[in-house]
Structure 1
Amino acid sequence: MSQVKLNSNFIVLDALQTATPVPLTPDIYQELDTRFGNFSGCFLVAEYAFSADWPSWEMHPHGDETLYLIAGAASLHLYADGLERQIEFDTPGSFVIIPKGSWHTAKVKASCTMLFITPGEGTVNGPDPRSRNA
């Protein structure tokens, strides 16, 4: 296999520990669900660059997500079981583990790049979960 850039491809790690590079396309998430059986038992390895706050919150019901800070800084906001946490994610080379079932988002403090290792099955995206309990 030739060298591939992570910012233009994802890597899917399946339940058999096979790593499959997948080029980014406009329909990447639908393609991943179809191609990898709704992502059951799979992890997605991806790199994202952010210059603005995340537009929504997300939650992964089937496993912990690991975020690795490559550059920049962000404030991570987590919400689970009625409890809120804020983590200053501002040391490149550090990582944070987002517990399974925790809603989370990020407020960008300085343009940043992160590596994600995400249990993709059942991922939910939506508005601020705190507003659902009001």
Structure 2
Amino acid sequence: MALTLFDPLDTLVRLDANARKATPLPRSAQAWREINTSHGERVIGMFAPVDAKDLHPEKWEMHPHGDELIYLFEGAIDIVTGDEDGREQDLTSLRAGQSCLVPTGIWHRLLLREPSRMMFVTPAGGTRMQPWRDGA
């Protein structure tokens, strides 16, 4: 059996524990739609954000089906958590070599502090997003 090679910045990997299978998906809007309609799986991916907008800071995100792992290889980001009404509750700064778990059901958004390289492991299916309102 041949190994599958891919660029981790251009590819998401869908992890299906039940099928004992990992499937690479070229990063695209269609891949995200497919992942967000899945259940009981995880997705792993990498980002190398250089601009604040690369991390959609104008939107809150929430994963209702499991914790999200974020690992920062290089750079600096802040993770802001909030409530259902979009009010900010806490800010956690991550620096190179640090990681964190965002618990199930916690609204959060990422703020880029310096160009970074990061990895995430996110539960597939059901991710919700809503706009961030300054001063909400």
For normalisation by structure 2, the TM-score amounts to 0.82
Asked whether the equivalents of residues 71 and 120 of structure 2 are also in contact (C-alpha less than 8 Å), the reply is: yes
Deviation at 1:99, TM superposition (A): 0.4
Q: Does 1:62 align with 2:65?
A: yes
Q: Give the direction of change, closer, same or farther, for the CA distance of 1:80–1:99 in structure 2 (3 Å limit).
A: farther
SS in 1 for 2:126: coil
Report what 2:92 is aligned to.
Answer: 87
- The Cα of 1:118 is off from its aligned counterpart by 0.1
Number of equivalences: 127
Shift of 1:13: 0.5
Counting aligned pairs with the same residue, the percent is 29
RMSD: 2.2
SS of the residue 1:87 aligns to: strand
**CA–CA separation in structure 1 for the residues paired with 2:79 and 2:108:** 7
Cα distance in 2 between the residues matched to 1:94 and 1:6: 19
Change in CA separation of 1:59 and 1:6 when aligned onto 2, cut-off 3 Å: same
Say whether residues 1:10 and 2:12 are aligned partners.
Answer: yes
Q: In structure 2, give the amino acid aligned to 1:10.
A: L
Task: Please show how residues 1-134 of structure 1 align to structure 2 within 5 Å.
Answer: 1-16=3-18, 17-33=20-36, 38-50=37-49, 51-53=51-53, 54-55=55-56, 56-80=59-83, 84-90=89-95, 92-128=96-132
SS state of the match for residue 97, structure 2? coil
Change (3 A) 1:15 1:2: closer
* TM-score normalised by length of structure 1: 0.83
Aligned mates of 1:25, 1:83 — CA distance in 2: 30
SS at match of 2:33: helix
Please identify, of 8-17 and 48-57, the stretch whose mean Cα deviation from structure 2 is larger.
Answer: 48-57
State the shift of 1:30 in Å.
Answer: 2.1
Preserved CA contact (<8 Å) 2:14 2:23: yes
Shift of 1:15: 3.6
Distance 1:96 1:129, change over 3 A: farther
Structure 1 position 66, deviation (Å): 0.2
The answer as to whether partners of 1:78 and 1:85 remain within 8 angstroms in 2 is yes
Tell me, which stretches of 5 or more residues in structure 1 are unaligned?
Answer: none
